[in-house]
A and B are shown apart, each in its own frame.
Chain A
Amino acid sequence: MLLSLIFIIIQALIVFAIVGAAVAVTLYSEIKVASHVQSKLGYMRTGWHGSLQGIADMIKLLLKEEILPGKIDKLIFLIAPYVAFLPVFLSFIAIPLGPGLIVKDLNIGILYFLAISSVGAIGIIMAGWSSYNKYSLIGGLRSTAQVISYEIPHLLSILPVIMLTGSLSTVSIVNAQEKVWYIFLQPLGFLIYFISTLAECNRTPFDLPEAESELVSGYHTEYSGMRFGLFFMAEYTHVIAGCAMATILFLGGWRGVFLPPFFWFLLKTSFLVFIVLLLRWTLPRFRMDQHMYLNWYILLPLSLFNLIITGLGILLF
């Protein structure tokens, strides 16, 4: 029993290390993509083409002074970064990085992922409310409205995949894609999943919760130092977890030829993350009403339509 406990703790540490490394790489590529989109060079000083910038940023954040504003709700203010980061970290339990490279193949894997990754919204609204700042409050409320609204198309776009597989386990979903990736059977489902994942991670074009031009920086305006860093990490981890799940659900997970399975998984996930980064620097932000319209009148009916079409397809073929 003790041995298996230690084993799980080591697994948790490994997952944390992978998440940390992935976040560092994503942060670096974010700036690089941004710079190259705008015909600039970006980081060049630290290491080869600025490749050590992630470490430099980490040290800088650790050394920053932390300011706790005067009238905050202190307890909630202090635990909000944990609540924002931990759920996304926990969602990695159900993500298989390769055959056998999974912490636990839960038999309700997808449901678990959906449930736990949306808990992060509570951390955001806690941060927004406890900050004693008007911008933070509006940012937190917007974020919650957005995340819970897009939860519905997110859920419905995964349903057809479950209908095709007949299982909620992530490993058996990947195994079911041996012949054909689900993106070819579910192009619409993939599109809806991807858009709603963008919205759930508060990424552009859905970054209304931290719209700099109107809300300073939304729910984490009052945060400074490493606590701000934790929110930052939570957001990027969420993007990576969402893209990893898209890979598992629609792009065949670790399946591929020639290269080892883990590299295929990494390749597909990083491609999706790259698209997310590229979108940030090419698209303008939505307005709140357009945003809600897109969810309730376009994505929701489309995903229901996709569900029925998939049902018909399974019955006929």
Chain B
Amino acid sequence: MDYSFTFDYLILIIFILTGSSILGIILFISSLIRPSSKSTPDKLLPYECGNIPTGKPWIQFRIHYYIFALIFVVFDAVFIFLFPWAIVFKELGTRVFLAGIIFVCIPVIGLIYLTRKGILKWI
């Protein structure tokens, strides 16, 4: 690993540390100057427009969200391979272009399959 590569990630780490400490300082200042008041049982309830909340919110949610996440992972992983293809595109010409078209056809077939299965339809 050469020096500049490590240096790039050092920048990232320092930015994370500086950013989070600034946010921490802002929250700390806020905690110093804001008024503190007693918490009552009603104040600690989840906000549901004034009604007394019923049931638990941590429930099983729609499977659709999960399926969309799965589809996203597949598509994103496929399309990320197009980045190196796009960088060298100008130098390599027609054959690479045809290969790219064939490559793009694979997720398109996937999209047609998903449509036929009715998965992408939000009910």
Contact = CB atoms under 8 A, between A and B. Distances in A.
B87 A141 contact: no
B2 interface: no
Contact of A304 (B53, B108, B123): B108
Given A9-B18, A70-B44, A89-B19, A311 B100 contact: yes
A64 interface: yes
A16 B30 contact: no
A104 B11 contact: yes
Contacts of A314: 89-90
Contact of A62 (B30, B43, B64): B30
A5 B87 contact: no
A135 interface: yes
Interface string A23-67: 000000000000000000000000000000000000001111111
A90 interface: yes
A226 B30 contact: yes
B19 A16 contact: yes
Interface residues of B, number: 66
Nearest to B96: A311
B89 A67 contact: no
B122 A292 contact: yes
Interface string B32-63: 01111101010111111100010001100110
Given A8-B14, A12-B18, A163 B68 contact: no
A221 interface: yes
B65 A66 contact: no
Contact of A225 (B34, B44, B47): B34
A89 B12 CA distance: 11
B95 to A, nearest CB: 11
A81 B30 contact: no
B27 A226 contact: yes
Contacts of B46: 69, 71, 131-134, 222
A156 B79 CA distance: 8
B43 A67 contact: yes
A interface SS class? helix
Contact of B97 (A85, A138, A315): A315
Interface stretch (A144-152, A194-202, A244-252, A267-275): A144-152
Given A148-B69, A315-B93, A134 B48 contact: yes
A93 B34 contact: no
Interface in A268-294: 288-289, 291-293
B90 A163 contact: yes
Interface in B1-44: 8, 10-12, 14-16, 18-20, 22-23, 26-27, 29-31, 33-37, 39, 41, 43-44
Nearest to B89: A163
B90 A166 contact: yes
Given A85-B23, A103-B11, A222-B46, A144 B65 contact: yes
28 contacts: A12-B18, A16-B19, A62-B29, A63-B30, A63-B33, A66-B31, A67-B44, A69-B47, A70-B41, A70-B44, A85-B23, A89-B19, A90-B15, A90-B16, A129-B58, A132-B46, A132-B57, A132-B58, A134-B48, A145-B68, A148-B69, A162-B87, A168-B83, A216-B47, A225-B30, A308-B101, A311-B101, A314-B90
**7 smallest A-B Cβ distances: which pairs?**
A70-B44, A12-B18, A289-B122, A226-B30, A148-B72, A133-B46, A162-B86
Interface of A: 5, 8-9, 12-13, 15-16, 61-71, 81-82, 85-86, 89-90, 93, 103-104, 106, 111, 129, 131-138, 141, 144-145, 148-149, 151-152, 155-156, 159-160, 162-164, 166-168, 216, 221-222, 225-227, 230, 288-289, 291-293, 296-297, 300-301, 304, 307-308, 311-312, 314-315
Interface of B: 8, 10-12, 14-16, 18-20, 22-23, 26-27, 29-31, 33-37, 39, 41, 43-49, 53, 57-58, 61-62, 64-65, 68-69, 72, 75-76, 79-80, 82-83, 86-91, 93-94, 97, 100-101, 104, 108, 111, 115, 120-123
